Structure 1
Amino acid sequence: MIGAGIAALSLALAAAVAYAAHAAMERRRMRTLFRVSLRLNSTIKRKELLRIIMETAEKTLRAEGSSIILVDKERQELFFEVATGEKGDEVREIRLRMGEGIAGWVAQTGESVLIPNAAKDPRWSNRVSNRVGMPTRNMLCVPVVSNGETLGVLQVINKKRNGTFRRSDLRLLELVASPAAVALENMLLYEALVKSMETLRETTAAKERMESELKIAQDIQRSFLPGDAASIARVELAARLQPAREVGGDLYHFIELGEERLLLCLGDVSDKGMPAALFMSGLMIWIQAKAKSYDSPAAIVADINREVSDEDSTMFATMFLAVLDARTGRLRYCDAGHCTPYLLGEDGAATPLETSKHLPVGVFEDTEYEDREIALSPGQSLVLYTDGITEAESPAGEWFGTNGLLEALSRCGGLSPREAADALVASVQSFSQGLPPSDDIAVMAVKYGKN
């Protein structure tokens, strides 16, 4: 009996030790993936992002070399945009057919592989290793997939210190490939935007095609907006955007961050027309890319500012960016030189939100920003707008101004965000009496409900 009890106790202790070791390994893995996600969200510039992916994979898996092989959909080929390791530069011009070699097989099938002995694998192609004179002993290769589409292949070769890769290493590389796919998708989206806008800017030189091309630009620009309304937990939101021309520089964005938190942003680019539209669209991509990188709105604004600041550019943008907890009404916000927001009660009383004013984004790369914080009361609304509202002109040359804004808000106290946004825009249009707007108009109304 005693012997059986000791044996059972020993088994229980061994199981507890194994469980604790597994839990510790999972915690280390989660910390590693968190650091990986932060690095991958730090940029959407092609060369920099791809190199970060490679260096991260190589370091995480303790490999001698790594590469990301992208898919050329038009030519149905794979190409080495970036490769790390001593012979990385010699790899970049090589192209593989879909299905060729292990990487081509992974891209074609969408399956991950662990190759303990590359030379003995029937799928092995020695084109790359012969070109660079770097033998491949063992390797891991996983597909990089976003929204069901294979963007490329991520591989690491030769475990350091003559080691061998394990199944746990393959799983870890698959986990690294997941945030890498999101980062690559953002990069490709940004590049497609720049390419399409640049093409559009060149073609607008032909006067007879101006109208149709501007309509295309308007469609492209509006495609980056998240919609015009949202509802999450106790929060309802509505937004409106009216460019003074076919395209403009005002912007708004809202993004669900998880855990019933909502990122809110409204901004105004310093120019109008096509230059402002280009800058605005770039800001929308940066906001999307940086939204989940930090808990602090000021940190998000500062990071975007570093990305868009350019000594040769005269473009800048005012911006109000906030993170709202839709359950508690807690609002953290950062004001980059934007129009003062208002808090609107259900009785129509509007009070200015206290903010710390900072320089707009795109002025100086090293500008520092700070957060402020309040708690919205149940039934209270936050109203954001651009200066196209307050600087709207009547036929007599008068401005709508702050008084006009407060008077319009006084009639919006009991309205839904959608009704309030529409009413504010309608008040400006009535004041202008059909006069063409001189500036873009953007409005966002966010209401924290009572239940």
Structure 2
Amino acid sequence: MEATDQSEQAVRLKKLIEANQTIARVESLEELFPMLMSLAKEVTNAEASSIMRYRPNRNVLEFELASNEGAGNLDKILREKITLKLGEGVAGWVGENRESVNIRDAQNDPRFSRRADSETGFVTRAILCSPILHENELLGVVQVLNPKSSRNFDDGDLEILEAFAGLAAVAIVRSRLLENLIAQEKLQAAKNAADIVEAAADAIITFGIESLRIRGINPAAMRIFGYDHDEFMDMSMLALLEHGEEEDILDRIFSGELHELPGLRKSGEAFPMEAVVRIGGKQGEEFFIGTFRDVTKKNEALRKLYSELSKAADYVKTLLPSPITDGPLRAHWRFIPSTSLGGDSFGYHWVDEEHFAIYLLDVCGHGVHAALLSVSVINVLQSQSLPGTDFKEPDQVLNALNNAFPMERHNEMYFTMWYGVYNRKTRTLVYASGGHPPALLMTSGPKGRIRPIGLKTPNMFIGGMPNVKYKKNEVKIEGQCRLFVFSDGVYEIETPEGVMWKYEEFQDFMVNVPPNEGAEMDRLFGHAKKLCGEDTLDDDFSIMEVVFD
């Protein structure tokens, strides 16, 4: 496979993953369709894109969204003026036949309708069009027009458009199900509101806006707080809150947002509860409606979970190498796990008497699954258990890992990686990276100034696509040099104002930190905490320093 083909496939895969993540994140079709169409247009390098919905009651296709660079009113014109009967035009033909087409000369194709071009002034040269289907039910069609470059649309473009059509089908069907579900929920709520309140596990309490006197409760309120119905009536709401914090608590719960507060039972026992209070009313009279949930068991479960995550993080640390403090090659590291267990791991070891391997990987996402995958990869590297692989050759290592850990067999998780091997006899560092930030090699420049060199190869992440050929590179280690290998968690730091620290700013920081083995990394962590305004970071902080004398 040619390198350009691999690059195009990697881009297409990345865009498909991005589109799939968008569908998981966005429920509204009004938000989702523009994102999908923008990605489809970008990956096929097309001038315009559109999506049409099928209206079975009238047997027509209507424009839902159209996008064309430089024509801001294109979408409005098409939605207001163009409707295609099933079978009319290329889109109508695709919808009627449930078949995708790649038309390279639209103007001379008998299926082509010129109505849209006449209304908009756009000139259609080439068309990719695919039906949006759900179990052979026609939902609509999606199309892209006119490749920007001189090349024609190819089979790869058609495949990616069909994939986007499949994603659009998922989104439409999900939206339809959600609409039905919401309608059913509203109907059920209207019919059984009183029953729902009575059966609710949470305490539901109504009380006066000015007096804060309790006016109504459900059975769960009696069970949670320990009072009977008559004791509740005309009691002050403040009696259900731990004494001494009422004023601060009232400001929080009356914000209309969910907060955890200290509740107080009749027995005098304090307990944690989640509460939200909103204004309700009937027959022109307003009052507060509060929902209160005892979260004692939930908090205990969370404490156990965090304890287990902490143990898992401690186990990951046991796999990390000991610092090397003496000799012409020395190594140090810092690993500070995030609040949620991440997928960073790293190591170094002598492959043989002459070759020293250095590696760091970052699994996408957080949690136990990410940590397990990270541990599995590190164990493979440390045991050198990839058949037919020369662990002195970084490209071979990344190729083998990519085939051994496909994302479809690991909860759709992939990882980025930097792997290098130093030959102390030739003082050559051979390295390869897969979607990972460049390592920083600090060398001596003119007049003794530090000169940073970014060590990175243009490879995709690990586990995304089988049989990818990874590339390596090498650099000569001249004089004393320092090598920093790290994950993106050391520099992708967001300030309280929402500004992200840039990689270039991180590099400048490292260049200007006085050389002092290990201390540079401590200075960096301190600066990261200062930037984000917190003592803990959102991502793992993982960095190694290797010093070559």
TM-score normalised over the length of structure 1: 0.50
Partner of 1:226: 321
Letter in 1 for 2:356: L
> Partners in 2 of 1:360 and 1:352 — Cα distance?
21
Aligned with 2:357 (options 257, 263, 272):
263
Q: In 1, are the aligned partners of 2:339 and 2:536 still within 8 Å (CA)?
A: no
Aligned with 1:337 (options 416, 435, 444):
435
Q: Quick one: structure 1 residues 331 and 216, their matched pair in 2 at CA, closer, same or farther if it must change by over 3 Å? A: same
> Partners in 2 of 1:260 and 1:231 — Cα distance?
18
1:59-208 to 2 correspondences below 5 Å:
206-207=301-302
> Partners in 2 of 1:352 and 1:342 — Cα distance?
6
Q: In 2, are the aligned partners of 1:248 and 1:276 still within 8 Å (CA)?
A: yes
How far the C-alpha of 1:373 sits from its partner, in A, is: 0.9
Task: Spell out, residue by residue over 1:3-27, the C-alpha distance to the aligned partner (whole angstroms, 9 max, x if none).
Answer: xxxxxxxxxxxxxxxxxxxxxxxxx
Partner of 1:315: 413
Aligned with 1:210 (options 298, 305, 309):
305
> Partners in 2 of 1:392 and 1:345 — Cα distance?
26
Letter in 2 for 1:219: D
Aligned with 1:277 (options 355, 371, 384):
371
How far the C-alpha of 1:230 sits from its partner, in A, is: 1.9
Partner of 2:345: 251
Matched, 1:381 2:381: no
Q: In 2, are the aligned partners of 1:348 and 1:411 still within 8 Å (CA)?
A: no
> Partners in 1 of 2:429 and 2:456 — Cα distance?
12
> Partners in 2 of 1:232 and 1:366 — Cα distance?
41
Letter in 2 for 1:326: R
How far the C-alpha of 1:427 sits from its partner, in A, is: 2.2
Task: Spell out, residue by residue over 1:16-55, the C-alpha distance to the aligned partner (whole angstroms, 9 max, x if none).
Answer: xxxxxxxxxxxxxxxxxxxxxxxxxxxxxxxxxxxxxxxx
Task: Please report the RMSD computed on the Cα atoms of aligned residues, expressed in angstroms.
Answer: 2.5
Q: Quick one: structure 1 residues 220 and 276, their matched pair in 2 at CA, closer, same or farther if it must change by over 3 Å? A: same
Task: Spell out, residue by residue over 1:375-419, the C-alpha distance to the aligned partner (whole angstroms, 9 max, x if none).
Answer: 112111111221112211122222221233123212335322x12
Q: In 1, are the aligned partners of 2:429 and 2:474 still within 8 Å (CA)?
A: yes
Partner of 1:427: 527
Partner of 1:296: 393
> Partners in 1 of 2:332 and 2:377 — Cα distance?
20
How far the C-alpha of 1:348 sits from its partner, in A, is: 5.6
> Partners in 2 of 1:354 and 1:263 — Cα distance?
15
Q: Quick one: structure 1 residues 257 and 397, their matched pair in 2 at CA, closer, same or farther if it must change by over 3 Å? A: same
* Aligned length in residues: 244
> Partners in 2 of 1:303 and 1:432 — Cα distance?
38
> Partners in 2 of 1:387 and 1:364 — Cα distance?
22
> Partners in 1 of 2:425 and 2:385 — Cα distance?
19
Partner of 1:355: 456
> Partners in 2 of 1:242 and 1:232 — Cα distance?
24
Higher relative contact order (CA 8 A, sep 6+): 1
Matched, 1:399 2:497: no
> Partners in 2 of 1:385 and 1:209 — Cα distance?
31
> Partners in 1 of 2:531 and 2:374 — Cα distance?
27
Instruction: Give SS of 1:230's match.
Output: coil
How far the C-alpha of 1:310 sits from its partner, in A, is: 4.2
> Partners in 2 of 1:279 and 1:371 — Cα distance?
24
How far the C-alpha of 1:254 sits from its partner, in A, is: 0.5
Q: In 1, are the aligned partners of 2:331 and 2:546 still within 8 Å (CA)?
A: yes
Identity %: 21
Aligned with 2:539 (options 436, 439, 445):
439
Task: Spell out, residue by residue over 1:99-124, the C-alpha distance to the aligned partner (whole angstroms, 9 max, x if none).
Answer: xxxxxxxxxxxxxxxxxxxxxxxxxx
Task: Spell out, residue by residue over 1:234-276, the C-alpha distance to the aligned partner (whole angstroms, 9 max, x if none).
Answer: 2111111122125211111111122142100012111112221
Q: Quick one: structure 1 residues 282 and 218, their matched pair in 2 at CA, closer, same or farther if it must change by over 3 Å? A: same
Instruction: Give SS of 1:238's match.
Output: strand
Q: Quick one: structure 1 residues 361 and 236, their matched pair in 2 at CA, closer, same or farther if it must change by over 3 Å? A: same
Matched, 1:326 2:427: no
> Partners in 1 of 2:546 and 2:349 — Cα distance?
13
> Partners in 1 of 2:303 and 2:547 — Cα distance?
46
Q: In 2, are the aligned partners of 1:296 and 1:332 still within 8 Å (CA)?
A: yes
> Partners in 1 of 2:491 and 2:306 — Cα distance?
29
1:30-49 to 2 correspondences below 5 Å:
none
How far the C-alpha of 1:299 sits from its partner, in A, is: 0.6
Partner of 2:332: 238
Letter in 1 for 2:382: Q
Q: In 2, are the aligned partners of 1:384 and 1:443 still within 8 Å (CA)?
A: yes
How far the C-alpha of 1:326 sits from its partner, in A, is: 3.2
Aligned with 1:286 (options 349, 372, 380):
380
Q: In 1, are the aligned partners of 2:333 and 2:544 still within 8 Å (CA)?
A: yes
Structure 2 stretches of 5 or more lacking a match?
1-298
Q: In 2, are the aligned partners of 1:234 and 1:326 still within 8 Å (CA)?
A: no
Structure 1 stretches of 5 or more lacking a match?
1-203
Q: In 2, are the aligned partners of 1:342 and 1:350 still within 8 Å (CA)?
A: no
1:412-423 to 2 correspondences below 5 Å:
412-416=513-517, 418-423=518-523
> Partners in 2 of 1:208 and 1:440 — Cα distance?
20
Q: In 2, are the aligned partners of 1:250 and 1:280 still within 8 Å (CA)?
A: yes
> Partners in 2 of 1:209 and 1:283 — Cα distance?
27
Q: Quick one: structure 1 residues 310 and 345, their matched pair in 2 at CA, closer, same or farther if it must change by over 3 Å? A: closer
Partner of 1:66: none
Letter in 2 for 1:273: G
> Partners in 2 of 1:241 and 1:430 — Cα distance?
18
> Partners in 2 of 1:380 and 1:208 — Cα distance?
45
Q: In 2, are the aligned partners of 1:394 and 1:435 still within 8 Å (CA)?
A: no
Letter in 1 for 2:369: P
1:22-37 to 2 correspondences below 5 Å:
none
How far the C-alpha of 1:431 sits from its partner, in A, is: 2.1
Instruction: Give SS of 1:253's match.
Output: strand
Letter in 1 for 2:521: A
Q: In 1, are the aligned partners of 2:343 and 2:364 still within 8 Å (CA)?
A: yes
Q: Quick one: structure 1 residues 341 and 350, their matched pair in 2 at CA, closer, same or farther if it must change by over 3 Å? A: farther
Q: In 2, are the aligned partners of 1:344 and 1:409 still within 8 Å (CA)?
A: no
Instruction: Give SS of 2:408's match.
Output: coil
